[in-house]
Structure 1
Amino acid sequence: MPFPNHPTKHDSTPLVTPQRSSEYKTERSDEELEKPPKAVILVYSRSLMKYLVETHDGRAIDHYFGDCYAFADTDHTVGVVGNFGIGAPTTAMLMDDLIADGVEAFLSVGFAGSLDESIAMGDLIVCEEAIRDEGTSHHYAESEKYAFPSDSLTTETKRLLERRDDRFHAGTSWTIDAIYRETEAEVRRYAEEGVLTVEMEASAVFAVADYRGVEAGSMFVISDYLGLSEWEPRFHLTAEDMHHLGETAKEILASYVD
């Protein structure tokens, strides 16, 4: 059976569009709705969202699913969206809504499990390609193994990290919907292929951005290690690393849209 199930899915016209949804929202409002920032950090950690909003002056834009906040020191051209949950489907829906209202670039940041024990806690991961083991991306692009970030945004990300002398690794991530179905066989296979991390959003973020003609990249910090004999969760040790990740993403996007 092909996936998606309908064989001509990608040649068919969608019934509901982000543009129509935006129009409906505007029609139902008694006042003009504020536009989102030009570039947005996608944040899945509630604690990181809280940190960024409390640390930086700005303004809330309150008509999206989750919370949207624009930073004052970027003249409100860069912002952050969070508190909308985790995973590919919700992220894709939110991206579509934001793109319809003018967002041109996304930097997706969050936790990732490491398949490579040589990666140190605190090192940043720049995703150069993502294995499409989630369902959402396949509704935006023909089914293939990988989805790819925007070359220009990924290059800018690595350039800034190198200029700051940050420790980082660049490579492949495995994106999967089902966190409790990451099996030993899959971990072994992907580790042998040199895959660095596993997470839940990157491949969908890349597929949506490519389909809609906008820019997208992704970065992670390591939250746990997926060895074949033992799982080592270290989420409790990552607070400062996550703050550094969020600040780095803000700096990258501010430079990118400048």
Structure 2
Amino acid sequence: MSLRNQYPICEFDTSKNPIIHPANFLTKSLPEKCVITYLRKELERFVEEHKLPIIGYLNSEVFDIPIYEYVDGADRLCITMAFCGGPGAAVALEELHAMGCETFIVCGGAGALINDSKVGEIVVPVSAVRDEGTSYHYLEPSREIECHKETVEKVVSCLKEIGIPFKTGKTWTSDAIYRETPDMIERRRNEGCITVEMEAAAFFAVSRYYNIPLAQLLYAGDDVSGEQWDSRNWNTQKNIRYELLRTAIEIVKKL
């Protein structure tokens, strides 16, 4: 059943029979556990250090993203990347799930909306403000969406066990990195958001649609909480970013 609305983004079809579905043309060949990262250089370093083989690709017209296999004792998982933004997140999750992945940890950067944030601190988002478009194709319109609760609880438990400091909170998912205006930042902060990024709401929506266990580790990078943007050299914090990737790998092994 298709729900009509004055605004197309708020229209929703309850049908679960899309014309194109990745399971129709992809085969199950991947490990059940998967890390999706947006830390490309750190992934390349991990791949080189551990000599990881490529076991598949996420194909696109732009370029094909390799999927790597990582085996550590009895643990076998895959590690890959996704394109930025909600559509890229949803397509990656759809296709990886169709290829056999059942449990996901996503890790990447986010802008800090609160002024006491420290660069590199880990944020585990428990919900996201849906200020993007992709999630509205998977779930009926709502202001927010929660992350997979049981997986978040397991991630929090793992971080405590490992002894890594972290915060939990709400994130603001936006499609437009260059439209984070002071007034909108203030509005989202007043709603309780502590970070801003471009994928969480889409990941959470696809996760809920298929009931896929998924959680996210956000690395607090640049600071957009003040009157001026502070990059805080967020994309050059190599050791922090590398440890975030390693943490995501260790956590997915425990799920």
TM (norm. structure 2) is: 0.89
Q: 2:55 aligns with which of 61, 74, 77?
A: 61
Q: Please say if 1:10 is aligned against 2:9.
A: no
Unaligned runs of 5+ in 2: 1-5, 60-64
In structure 2, do the counterparts of structure 1 residues 192 and 63 end up closer, same or farther at CA, with 3 Å as the change threshold?
closer
Which residue of the partner structure matches residue 248 of structure 1?
A: 247
Q: How far apart in 2 are the matches of 1:36 and 1:249?
A: 18
Question: What is the match of residue 29 of structure 1?
Answer: none
Q: Which residue is 1:89 aligned to?
A: 87
Residues 226-247 of structure 1: per-residue CA shift (max 9 Å, x gap)? 0341100022442111111111
Aligned amino acid, residue 250 of structure 1: I
- Asked whether the equivalents of residues 109 and 245 of structure 1 are also in contact (C-alpha less than 8 Å), the reply is yes
Paired with 2:227 and 2:47, the residues of 1 have a C-alpha distance of 39
Count of residues in correspondence between the two structures? 244
Q: For residues 152-163 of structure 1, what are the structure 2 equivalents within 5 Å? A: 152-163=150-161
Identity percentage over the alignment? 29
Deviation, 1:103, is: 0.9
Q: CA deviation at 1:67?
A: 1.3
Residues 128-139 of structure 1 correspond to what in structure 2 (within 5 A)?
A: 128-139=126-137
1:157 Cα deviation after fit = 1.0
Q: What's the counterpart of residue 117 of structure 2?
A: 119
Distance 1:70 1:146 in 2: 34
Output the TM-score relative to the length of structure 1: 0.88
Deviations 1:195-231 (A, max 9, x none): 1100011110010011112111111111100034110
Q: Distance in 2 between matches of 1:74 and 1:213?
A: 28
Question: 1:67-123 CA deviation, whole Å, 9 max, x = no partner?
Answer: 1111111546322112x4311101211211111122111111101000011121221
Q: Give secondary structure in 2 for the equivalent of 1:122.
A: coil
Secondary structure of the corresponding residue to residue 14 of structure 1: coil
Please, what is the CA RMSD of the aligned residues?
A: 1.8
Alignment of 1:186-201 (within 5 A): 186-201=184-199
What is the one-letter code of the residue matched to 1:21?
Answer: F
1:164 Cα deviation from its structure 2 partner: 2.3
* Partner AA of 1:15 in structure 2: I
**Structure 1 stretch 109-118 or stretch 69-78: which is displaced more?**
69-78
2:229 paired residue number: 231
Instruction: Give secondary structure in 2 for the equivalent of 1:48.
Output: helix
C-alpha offsets along residues 135-157 of structure 1, whole Å, 9 cap, x if unaligned?
11110111111122212221111
Q: What amino acid maps onto 1:142 in structure 2?
A: E
Structure 1 unmatched ranges of 5 or more: 27-33
Q: 2:129 aligns to what SS in structure 1? A: strand
Q: Deviations over 1:168-193 (max 9, x none)?
A: 11000001111001111110111122
Matched residues in 2 for 1:57 and 1:154: separation? 30
